[in-house]
């Protein structure tokens, strides 16, 4: 099993238990960051967000079935109080535990069912090449995303388009999509930008990223940009666990050379993954 399949099995088999991201990572045989990134690439969800949604979905079923004690349901779902449970339940489903119990149905709730891995989300990778980058600077438009809400990235690139070629100190006609500041809940900053000579004259709204000297595994993605998730998923859930490398604490980025056509999404790109032995 790959890291995501191991994480799914562990979460589902320990759903009533008080487990942490460290526990999930240990069961998957990879780091916290790796399992967070791999799980997000494969499922579009964060590990802990998925676990929370599954627990609340099972709690909703109990309530719709007539559970007499809401606090007992809350405790089983990992919440220490009725108030905390109600708050999380409302955030997840837009209604309260009391109303679901009174209605006796989950028909109008968007329940989260156990995820079954889809083999179509894997692809055949070309062997990567290995590069040791020199330090360089990236500047551009940045946004914070979660695994569940990363669909705004294409619009971010559209907003960045008018800046391209008009950025003070821009180096080359190459664009970069840089992932930085990832956390344990699957949130990350994504910067659509270019390499610059320095940060001194940039627009005030720009994000600034210093990419250190770092060893990278560089993967070619030659298909349409819309299929990039398959390549990323295969890197994190198939290639990296079998490679003997670990993920390094450095920015991961996409490199869009002059051959990439942003209007059509064709032309291919490279995915640079920071690694260490």
pLDDT tens for 42-93 read 998 999 999 999 999 999 999 999 998 999 999 999 898 999 999 999 999 9
What is the model's pLDDT at position 210?
A: 96
Q: Which of 103, 137, 171 is the last residue of a domain?
A: 103
Tokens of residue 2, six digits: 């790959």
| pLDDT at position 177 | 96
> Do 56 and 158 lie in a common domain?
no
| 112 within a domain of the structure (yes/no) | no
Number of domains, the chain: 2
Output the six-digit token pair for 179. 């992932």
Q: What is the pLDDT of residue 117?
A: 75
- pTM of the shown model: 0.83
Has residue 121 been placed in a domain?
no
Closest CA to 81 of 73, 66, 89, 71: 71
Give the distance, in angstroms, between the CA of residue 190 and the centroid of all CA atoms in the same chain: 11
CA distances from 236 to 13, 85, 166, 190, 230 (A): 23, 34, 35, 18, 10
DSSP state for residue 78 in the 8-state scheme: T
Q: Which residues of the chain have pLDDT under 70?
A: 120
The CATH number given to whatever domain includes residue 251 is: 3.20.80.10
Supply the DSSP string of 200-258, one letter for each residue.
Answer: TT--TT-EEEEEPSEEEEEEEE-S-GGGHHHHHHHIIIIIHHHHS-EE-SS-EEEEE-T
Inter-residue contact 148 to 46 (CB < 8 Å) = yes
Structural domain of 209: 129-276
């Amino acid at each position: 099993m790959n890291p995501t399949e191991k994480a799914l099995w562990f979460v589902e088999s320990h759903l009533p238990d008080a487990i942490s991201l460290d526990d999930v990572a240990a069961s998957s045989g990879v780091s916290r960051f790796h399992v967070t990134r791999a799980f997000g690439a494969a499922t579009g969800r964060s590990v802990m967000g998925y676990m929370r949604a599954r627990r609340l979905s099972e709690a909703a079923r109990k309530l719709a079935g007539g559970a007499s004690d809401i606090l007992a349901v809350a405790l089983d779902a990992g919440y220490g109080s009725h108030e905390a449970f109600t708050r999380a339940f409302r955030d997840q489903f837009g209604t309260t535990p009391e109303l679901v119990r009174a209605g006796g149905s989950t028909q109008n709730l968007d329940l989260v069912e156990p995820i079954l891995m889809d083999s179509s989300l894997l692809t055949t990778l070309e062997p990567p090449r290995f590069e040791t980058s020199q330090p360089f600077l990236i500047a551009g438009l940045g946004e914070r995303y979660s695994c569940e809400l990363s669909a705004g990235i294409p619009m971010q690139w559209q907003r960045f388009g008018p800046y391209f070629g008009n950025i003070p100190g821009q180096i080359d006609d190459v664009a970069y999509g840089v992932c930085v500041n990832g956390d344990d809940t699957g949130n990350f900053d994504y910067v659509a930008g270019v390499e610059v000579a320095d940060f001194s004259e940039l627009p005030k709204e720009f994000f600034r990223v210093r990419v250190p000297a770092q060893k990278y595994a560089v993967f070619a993605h030659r298909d349409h940009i819309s299929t990039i998730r398959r390549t990323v998923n295969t890197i994190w859930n198939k290639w990296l666990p079998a490679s003997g490398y670990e993920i390094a604490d450095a920015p991961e980025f996409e490199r869009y050379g002059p051959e990439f056509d942003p209007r059509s999404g064709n032309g291919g790109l490279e995915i640079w993954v920071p690694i260490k032995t």
